């Protein structure tokens, strides 16, 4: 048995890690459902999350998403065909294409952000539970800012 100042047992740490892995799986499943409900691939969902101000170059977007340049081109082609993004020439370097969200793309991005907040597994927790979870998570890792 552990007291308040003693290290947790290895079994407890293992159990906590198993629960964390379950949360990760749950969020991956949720993200896949969110993408599918808007006829997006997971990479397209991630791209819409990444895009904003200032506009990203295709190269920077590919790095952020850990994608091969040819995969980024194919993905941007699909998003452009749906009129969610457009490519614009960088005024400082005409060799570079920047990816800009169109008004339709901005609206979809905002819908995705709102849905991910309103319908996420965390939204099912009470305010007190969310605050307790946040207090624990802050001890493990700093937050990654979410898009507005």
90 forms beta bridges with: 93
CATH class for the region spanning 13-137:
mainly alpha
pLDDT of res. 54: 82
Q: Can you give the residue ranges of every domain in the chain?
A: 13-137
Per-residue model confidence (pLDDT) at position 52: 80
| Residue 78 and residue 44 in contact, taking contact as beta carbons nearer than 8 Å | yes
Nearby residues of 117 by Cβ (< 8 Å), 6 or more positions away: 123, 146
pLDDT given for residue 1 in this prediction: 47
DSSP annotation of 71: H
What's the confidence (pLDDT) of residue 3? 54
Residue numbers in the chain where pLDDT is lower than 70: 1-5
How distant is the alpha carbon of residue 16 from its chain centre?
A: 23
Q: Which tens digit of pLDDT belongs to each residue from 69-111?
A: 889 999 999 999 999 999 999 888 888 889 999 999 999 999 9
Contact 67, 50 (CB under 8 A): no
Give the pLDDT score at 4: 60
């Amino acid at each position: 048995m552990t007291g308040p100042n003693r290290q947790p047992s290895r079994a407890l740490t293992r159990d906590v890690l198993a629960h964390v892995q379950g949360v990760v799986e749950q969020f991956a499943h949720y993200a896949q459902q969110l993408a599918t409900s808007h006829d997006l691939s997971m990479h397209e969902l991630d791209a819409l999350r990444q895009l904003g101000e200032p506009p990203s170059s295709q190269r920077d977007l590919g790095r952020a998403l850990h994608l091969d340049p040819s995969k980024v081109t194919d993905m941007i082609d699909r998003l452009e065909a749906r009129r969610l993004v457009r490519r614009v020439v960088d005024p400082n370097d005409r060799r570079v294409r920047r990816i800009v969200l169109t008004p339709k793309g901005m609206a979809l991005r905002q819908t995705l952000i709102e849905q991910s907040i309103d319908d996420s597994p965390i939204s099912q927790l009470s305010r007190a539970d969310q605050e307790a979870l946040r207090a624990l998570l802050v001890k493990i890792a700093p937050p990654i800012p979410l898009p507005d």
